[in-house]
Structure 1
Amino acid sequence: MRSPFLRRGLVALALLLGGLATAPARAQNADPSFNVVNRAGRTIQELYVSSAQENAWGQDLLGRNVLQNGRSFPVRLPTGQCVNDIRVVYEGGQSEERRALDTCPLNEVVFGQGAQASPGAGKGGGAAAPGQTGNPSFNLVNRTRKTIQVLRASPSSESNWGDDRLGDAVVAPGGTFAVRLPVGECTYDIRVEYDDRAAEERRAVNLCSVSNVTFP
């Protein structure tokens, strides 16, 4: 018969081995990195990934590169940042998003398998239908010779501009900045302020029908 001390020792050893066996799996599950796979039949020109808790898309991860159909692109994220929003912009300006996606258990995020892409256009859209809702996120494109230092965008139903959506960023001449807005109202007023203190506005823009808003 085994002594109580021996039984206790065996139990402790089993618990220790069990903890060691599960440690790598836990570490692996906390890794949110993944590959974006393009199966849309067209080129992805921009890629944005940010924590679902953030209110801005940040920088285009592709930079000067593009993601051709059938290719993949690795996205590296900080350990533990599991719930993320992902946005791709295709050639021609159409975009597609995945919101609040848990990427920790995933190896790949595939675009183009029957998902609907929101239509894109040039400077501004036509007026939205009354009560129309959708995704008003857009790219601010600076085609002027001045730096945009402030961007304000608010629903046309509101009476104030709200906070600067660039934060600490600026948009240099020729630059682009991805602006993420909450899903809901489509019609927005947009105001930019330049480094020479001049300002320019667009009123009642249907952002749900465009991907890019270009100044001038």
Structure 2
Amino acid sequence: MSSIRATLAVFALATVASTASLAGDLTRLPVEKREVSLFTVVNATFDSVTGLATAPANSQAFEDVRLGTALPGGLTSATVRLPPGDCLRDVRVTFQGGRSQVFPGVDVCRSHGLRLGTQPT
């Protein structure tokens, strides 16, 4: 009977150790390979946002993100689905009138949103 308990105890410890090892391996996955889906844009500027695009960091290969309707200025927000890709991305925001601004190196895996605001002069 005690040999069965000892065997079960060893099996339980091995299971816990392998589970802990697997969990440690998952946390060490490179951030660049994680899947991204939803991203929230908060518009606290005076202008409406009419377009949104992302590209891998330090590239010009922007891919449009479906925004739906324009995001009015004030304090409004929209949650969009990002296309698959690396975590580190450049985000281009286009405002009413055609002006655009690029936010370089946004980690969309760790930060699930971007707040646009007016900056003091």
Q: What RMSD, in angstroms, separates the aligned Cα atoms of the two structures?
A: 3.7
User: After superposition, what is the alpha-carbon deviation per residue over 1:75-108, rounded to whole angstroms, capped at 9, x for unaligned?
Assistant: 3235552111111122233322211211101221
Corresponding position: 1:102 with 2:107: yes
Identity of aligned residues (%): 28
Secondary structure, in 3 states, of the residue corresponding to 2:67?
coil
Q: Distance in 1 between matches of 2:120 and 2:61?
A: 23
Q: Distance in 1 between matches of 2:23 and 2:36?
A: 21
Structure holding more helix per residue: 2
Q: Which amino acid aligns with 1:42?
A: D
Q: What stretches of structure 2 of length at least 5 have no aligned partner? A: none
With structure 1 as the length reference, what TM-score do the two structures score? 0.41
2:63 maps to which residue? 58
Shift of residue 10, structure 1, vs aligned partner = 2.3
Structure ranking higher on relative contact order (CA contacts 8 Å, 6+ apart): 2
Q: Distance in 2 between matches of 1:25 and 1:115?
A: 40
Corresponding position: 1:31 with 2:31: no
Q: Distance in 1 between matches of 2:35 and 2:71?
A: 23
Are residues 31 and 110 of structure 1, via their aligned partners in 2, closer, same or farther at CA, if it must alter by over 3 Å? farther
With structure 2 as the length reference, what TM-score do the two structures score? 0.65
1:42 maps to which residue? 47
Q: Distance in 1 between matches of 2:57 and 2:87?
A: 9
Are residues 62 and 51 of structure 1, via their aligned partners in 2, closer, same or farther at CA, if it must alter by over 3 Å? same
Quick check: 1:32–1:106 contact (8 Å CA) kept in 2? no
Match of 2:11 among 9, 12, 17: 9
